[in-house]
Amino acid sequence: MSIYPRKQLMIIAENCITGMDKLPEGYQVEDIEIYPETVEITGTAERLEGLTSLPSEVIDIAGKSEDVYTTIQLLVPDGITLTSGTDTVSLIIRISEIIEKTVFEDLTVELRNIPAGLDVEDFEELRTVELLVPSNTAETLTASHVKPYIDLAELSAGEHELRIQCEVPEEFRATEIEVLNDTATVILVEYVIINDVKVSVDYTNEEIKKSISKKLNIKPSRITDFDIIRRSIDARYSNVRFSLSINATIKGEDNSPDFHKYIIPDSKKQSISKSCYYRCRSSWTLCWTCFGACWILPYHY
């Protein structure tokens, strides 16, 4: 009985496939897996000498856009025997979209869901966003589609260090979105309407701030801005003064009772507006007697 030599041969995966250059636009063969990668054969020394790989049948993947799983037949030359006992191998062809890195610089960070009664102090932030998107969508992706933002929902007044998120329409199928320097400081301030702020007829902004701070029992530095929404003459005393209604912006929180008595809970607003209606003989939205103070001053309920 003759004993023939044995030899390990590789299965060259690329030799098993055609049509790799005919995939849909924007797709590529990412990887090819074959199992087993090698097979053992036996035969005469003369037959084995010139063999470096074992041929197989060929599969055409032209037009494919998804992974291909298949089994292919090995083509064993005459005079050669497979010692493994099987003449097929499993083939996995992984097809993926071509991904491109796209960068947009100096995008304005949006502020979303600003809580009622609060405003943002001096916020203007620009950020760079890097994205990985399929090449066939990268062509139509513009800066207007990329929206870095900060969600302010359910935050209270004060200073907050917050993470910047980013929104890109699903149609662009972004596989990765990164905001460079992805945090920012946001300062939320409160609006307060104060009536009957007494000032001299030649008042200054500093005098108004001092009067507001005294009325609210807070430091003047907490008042970041204010608008005069109504002005009237108070001539009841020898020194004539102005009586102002002020819309003031207050930075941070204040726990003093005198400050929070100006903030009316939602549960009381309906009864307050009715009270204002009957006091002023008018709809509260047109009330000139208290000029909206029914929403804010405690002596109206």
pLDDT band, very low/low/confident/very high, at 172 (cuts 50, 70, 90): very high
According to the model, what pLDDT value does residue 44 have? 87
Distance, C-alpha 163 to centroid of its chain: 9
Please state, in angstroms and rounded to a whole number, the distance separating the CA atoms of residues 118 and 188: 6
Domains of the chain: 6-97 (2.170.120.40), 99-188 (2.170.120.30), 264-301 (no CATH)
Residue type, 48: L
Q: Each residue of 231-268: pLDDT tens digit?
A: 888 777 677 788 888 888 877 654 444 444 344 444 43
Q: Are 18 and 61 in contact (CB under 8 A)?
A: yes
According to the model, what pLDDT value does residue 32 have? 92
The two tokens of residue 47 are 């037959």
The two tokens of residue 109 are 């960070």
According to the model, what pLDDT value does residue 267 have? 42
Does pLDDT of 269 surpass 70? Answer: no
**3 state DSSP class of 202:** coil
Q: What is the DSSP letter of 74?
A: B
Q: Rounded mean pLDDT of the chain?
A: 81
Residue type, 188: L
Q: Which single residue is written with the structure tokens 């869901």?
A: 113
Mean pLDDT to the nearest integer, 181-195: 87
**CA dihedral sign, ordered 62, 63, 64, 65:** positive
More confident call, 175 vs 288: 175
Q: Each residue of 27-55: pLDDT tens digit?
A: 999 999 999 888 888 888 888 888 888 88
pLDDT band, very low/low/confident/very high, at 281 (cuts 50, 70, 90): very low
Q: Which stretch of 124-128, 187-191, 228-232, 264-268 has the lowest confidence by average pLDDT?
A: 264-268
